[in-house]
Chains A and B, each alone.
Chain A
Amino acid sequence: EAQVTQNPRYLITVTGKKLTVTCSQNMNHEYMSWYRQDPGLGLRQIYYSMNVEVTDKGDVPEGYKVSRKEKRNFPLILESPSPNQTSLYFCASSLAGGTNYGYTFGSGTRLTVV
């Protein structure tokens, strides 16, 4: 089944403890992105990647890191999480951005930082 797999689905952590949210797609998509969703703000792009070893900042990159060493994987790293990073996170991939193929989203990761 074609899908984007995020793990974990739920995570509660403490301020300052490094964490990684994994994202993997099995569709051979070039484009991958991370978004965070907050009430009243919609989804905001954190980072995106057009291909292996090519990443760039989105609208809200502060406090996050990403890497794209393999085409299928695009992990999101929070080196020192803070409570304002409590949010619902989505990974998404696309064969060709901005076409009627659309983006395929993962199921989301609900992160709480206390």
Chain B
Amino acid sequence: AQKITQTQPGMFVQEKEAVTLDCTYDTSDQSYGLFWYKQPSSGEMIFLIYQGSYDEQNATEGRYSLNFQKARKSANLVISASQLGDSAMYFCAMFHFGNEKLTFGTGTRLTIIP
């Protein structure tokens, strides 16, 4: 069975510091995709970054980067120079090409402190 684990229910980080949100996954598939989404207090889901299982380089999108360690089955999100607007819930998710399912973790609530 596919599973995503986010072990940090909540984190507090000082503004301008970098932050790493942990995500580990479990799958026996060779082909899959990993996503990170941001959910601010308004509730919408915002796509941040994607990493394919065959991508050799870590994905980056502006201040977001995905630290992909395939052998360890981890896909941590790194936010550089955090801002107050980064305060939100963050979800890691895994996509399986075989059954087209997107499986989410339980999320990490990030709070940026001024």
Binding site for B on A (CB under 8 A): 31, 33, 35, 40-45, 48, 50, 56, 58-59, 88, 90, 92, 97-105, 107-108, 110
Instruction: Evaluate contact between B100 and A99: CB separation under 8 angstroms.
Output: no
Residues of A within 8 Å of B33, CB to CB, are 97-99
Residues of B within 8 Å of A99, CB to CB, are 33, 50, 52
Number of A-B contacts (CB under 8 A): 67
The B interface is mostly helix, strand or loop, or mixed, namely: strand
Residues of B within 8 Å of A58, CB to CB, are 101
Tell me, rounded to whole Å, the shortest Cβ–Cβ distance linking B10 to chain A: 12
- Of the candidates A88, A97, A105, the one whose C-beta lies within 8 Å of that of B100 is A97
Instruction: Evaluate contact between A98 and B32: CB separation under 8 angstroms.
Output: yes
With A43-B91, A98-B95, A99-B50 already in contact, 18 other A-B pairs whose C-beta atoms are closer than 8 Å = A35-B102, A42-B106, A42-B107, A43-B93, A45-B101, A59-B103, A88-B43, A97-B97, A97-B100, A97-B102, A98-B52, A98-B96, A102-B35, A102-B50, A103-B47, A105-B45, A108-B45, A110-B43
